Amino acid sequence: MIAGLRFFHRFHPAQSHKSIRMGAWIKTWFKNMVVGLSIFLLFNCSSFKTATREQVNNQTIPERFEIKGVPFFGQEAYRCGPAVLAMALVWTGDRVTPETLAPETFTPALKGSLQAAIIGAARRHGRIAYPIERADLMLKELTAGHPVIVLQNLGFSWSPKWHYSLAIGYDLAEDLIILHSGKTERKLMPLKLFEKTWGRSGHWGLLVLPPDLLPATATADKYVSSIIGLEKAQRWKEALKAYITALNKWPDNYVAQIGLGNCYYYLKDLKSAEEVFKSIIFRFPDKGTAYNNLAQVLLDQGKYDAAYDRIQMAIRIDGAAVEEYQRTAEEIQAKRGLSKH
């Protein structure tokens, strides 16, 4: 079995019925908690994480900047989510409209779009969904030419009016942010007001980028986590491109290297997967996951003896995952035995 990182292991069916029932209860409780929290953060369309003004002014960015050519779609009632996501996706080169995105992002019963729906739709369209949570980071992304989806509460804390906008520029001299918002293209909003309305959402912002474009403010952990979202959406080709992008920046990132090998595997390019996992073993000889995944790749190519040698190495050096690796070993043994008959 191809393995991701330890925290992505799947539940093993051999566990006791009692454990299964308890696991299901926890899963149901967690699901209800997430749904409740999501409803609380509903974005229907009816502050900067306040980096101080000094932090913003100390940045080496232009005094004013605007991204030209960002498409604009005026929203229908309650549908700022599909409209803003369509603007961001079309900017990346995807051919969508708010109408085509609505079934993916809009919940009629809630009259709005949830954060998870926006993120999930971006990933299903093969795009990196990268969180932005501070004013200085947002301004730096804008100056790099990257529009930023932001969530605002245009009402009050006790009477919220959630609304998505797309930030496309700013003017620090005039204290203005430039937004595609509602039915207004290039809406000019005072920065103080924007800081207040964005702050009420917990400073929720999102970059939507093609997989070969690195965020200007990217950190390795956050960016690689964003790529894992593409894997979960089974967008293997785009995830592969994004892992290559990540490794061009952080060549020693173990998680990205494992992800790269896994993408080649799921794209059925076993030769490339084999080379990647061999390279990981050379650089990280004490990591069991790479041995396990190489064993699986060799098994799928009918190289049973080599596969068995590799999985035994995984078992010896990484006892924490021995049960998972033992299942791979059993699969190899079974197929090796059949090949001798």
pLDDT at 246 (0 to 100): 98
Indicate if the pLDDT at residue 5 is higher than 80: no
pLDDT-based confidence at residue 58 (cuts at 50, 70, 90)? low
pLDDT at 19 (0 to 100): 27
Residue-range domain boundaries for the chain: 53-209
pLDDT at 340 (0 to 100): 62
pLDDT-based confidence at residue 41 (cuts at 50, 70, 90)? very low
pLDDT at 223 (0 to 100): 98
pTM of the model: 0.84
What mean pLDDT is predicted for residues 28-51? 44
Measure the CA–CA gap between 239 and 251, rounded to whole angstroms. 16
Measure the CA–CA gap between 101 and 96, rounded to whole angstroms. 7
Distances (CA, A) of 42 to 109, 122, 335: 11, 18, 51
Q: Which of 38-47, 125-134, 332-341 has the highest mean pLDDT?
A: 125-134
Measure the CA–CA gap between 296 and 32, rounded to whole angstroms. 37
Instruction: Choose the weakest-confidence range: 54-68, 168-182, 208-222, 281-295.
Output: 54-68
Gap between the terminal Cα atoms of the chain = 24
Query: Which structure tokens are listed for 226?
Result: 């964003």
In this predicted model, what pLDDT tens digit does every residue of 210-244 receive, in sequence order?
A: 999 999 999 999 999 999 999 999 999 999 999 99
Indicate if the pLDDT at residue 25 is higher than 50: no
pLDDT at 190 (0 to 100): 97
Nearest to 291 by CA among 271, 306, 269, 270: 306
What letter does residue 172 receive in the DSSP assignment? Answer: T
pLDDT at 43 (0 to 100): 45
Q: 3-state DSSP call for residue 106?
A: coil
Instruction: Choose the weakest-confidence range: 213-222, 301-310, 315-324.
Output: 315-324
Matching residue, tokens 């609304």 = 163
CATH fold of the domain at 53-209 = Cathepsin B; Chain A (3.90.70)
Q: Which residues pair with 132 in a beta bridge?
A: 205
pLDDT at 2 (0 to 100): 80
Indicate if the pLDDT at residue 47 is higher than 60: no
In this predicted model, what pLDDT tens digit does every residue of 121-139 receive, in sequence order?
A: 999 999 999 999 999 999 9
pLDDT-based confidence at residue 156 (cuts at 50, 70, 90)? confident
Instruction: Choose the weakest-confidence range: 50-54, 78-82, 107-111, 278-282.
Output: 50-54
pLDDT at 158 (0 to 100): 82
Half-sphere exposure of 3 (CA within 13 A, CB side): 25
Measure the CA–CA gap between 213 and 146, rounded to whole angstroms. 10
Instruction: Choose the weakest-confidence range: 36-50, 86-100, 147-161, 286-300.
Output: 36-50
Indicate if the pLDDT at residue 27 is higher than 50: no
Instruction: Choose the weakest-confidence range: 52-56, 180-184, 249-253.
Output: 52-56
Q: Where are the beta strands (DSSP E) in the chain?
A: 64-66, 128-132, 148-153, 162-171, 176-181, 184-190, 205-209
pLDDT at 54 (0 to 100): 56
Query: Which structure tokens are listed for 300?
Result: 């799928």
pLDDT-based confidence at residue 245 (cuts at 50, 70, 90)? very high
Instruction: Choose the weakest-confidence range: 23-32, 189-198, 282-291, 306-315.
Output: 23-32
What mean pLDDT is predicted for residues 325-330? 93
